[in-house]
Amino acid sequence: MKIKVCGMKYPENITAVARLQPDYMGFILWEKSPRYFRGSRAALPESLEKVGVFVDASLEEIIEKTEALSLDLVQLHGSESPEFCSRLLEALKIVERQRHKVDAKIKIIKAIGVGKAFPFEDLRGYEDVVDYFLFDTKGPLPGGNGYSFNWELLNSYTLKTPFFLSGGIGLKDTEKLKAFLKSPLASQCHAIDVNSAFESEPGEKKSKELDTFIKQLKL
């Protein structure tokens, strides 16, 4: 199971978490977030797949930061429509060609806030224009609300697009998560996304707790 650590902010902390070898590292590029990343491309570990998180940003801003930070994935955490995702997909193809790398597709993650119920069929319009969904808990903030939604709702998820599971996942959830990953609910689960439950403050991750979590999850 792949693991994404999101909301990275500080260079020394980024280096410490990178040593734990998660599969993805997320950088929030929305200025209103307390986890807003102001760093440069040089601060990003080259060994990890780098995810830029945007909230209703313009196409131009996403492309500019994808190029500047050499992003591997773009995560859309706002109200972006399938039509917008389609235009972004085409724009990213130009960036891919400029990189001159084989198999260097820049992938798109569309984050979806899940409440007490969710009509997953309504997401069908995104299937041809995004690579992954990210299911997070619906709350007052676009992300980082710190609590989980009812994973049993995924019983009604029948689409083909794999997803990241997010929403307040912490060290206390390890056993529950292991059970989930062995169940049919996780058949399309591509990765686990963690953020606020491992923080001492917004953007500062507790690397020792993360190390324990990653080791336990990969047993």
User: In whole angstroms, what is the distance from residue 7 CA to residue 22 CA?
Assistant: 13
CATH superfamily of 2-217: Aldolase class I (3.20.20.70)
pLDDT of residue 90: 96
| Beta carbons within 10 angstroms of residue 48's beta carbon | 20
Q: Which amino acid is at 25?
A: M
For residue 107, the model assigns a pLDDT of 98
Over residues 88-97, the pLDDT tens digits come to: 999 999 999 8
Q: Where are the domains of the chain?
A: 2-217
Model pLDDT, residue 147: 64
Which DSSP string corresponds to 18-61? Answer: HTT--SEEEEE--TTSTTB----GGGS-TTSEEEEEESS--HHH
Query: Could you tell me the pLDDT band of residue 142, with boundaries at 50, 70 and 90?
Result: low
The rounded distance, in Å, linking the Cα atoms of 5 and 22 is 7
Report the C-alpha gap between 198 and 187 in whole angstroms.
26
* Cα(167)–Cα(115) distance, integer angstroms: 11
Distance CA 78, CA 142 (A): 7
Name which of 14-28, 40-54, 152-166, 168-182 the model is least confident about: 40-54
Dump pLDDT digits (tens) for 49-90. Answer: 999 999 999 999 999 999 999 999 999 999 999 999 999 999
Average the pLDDT over 98-116 and give the result. 87
The bridge status of strand 132-137 relative to strand 163-165 is parallel
Query: What mean pLDDT value characterizes the chain?
Result: 92
What percent of the chain clears pLDDT 90, i.e. is strictly above it? Answer: 82
Query: Per-residue pLDDT averaged across 198-209, rounded?
Result: 96
Hunting for tokens 């996403």 — which residue is that? 62
What's the pTM? 0.94
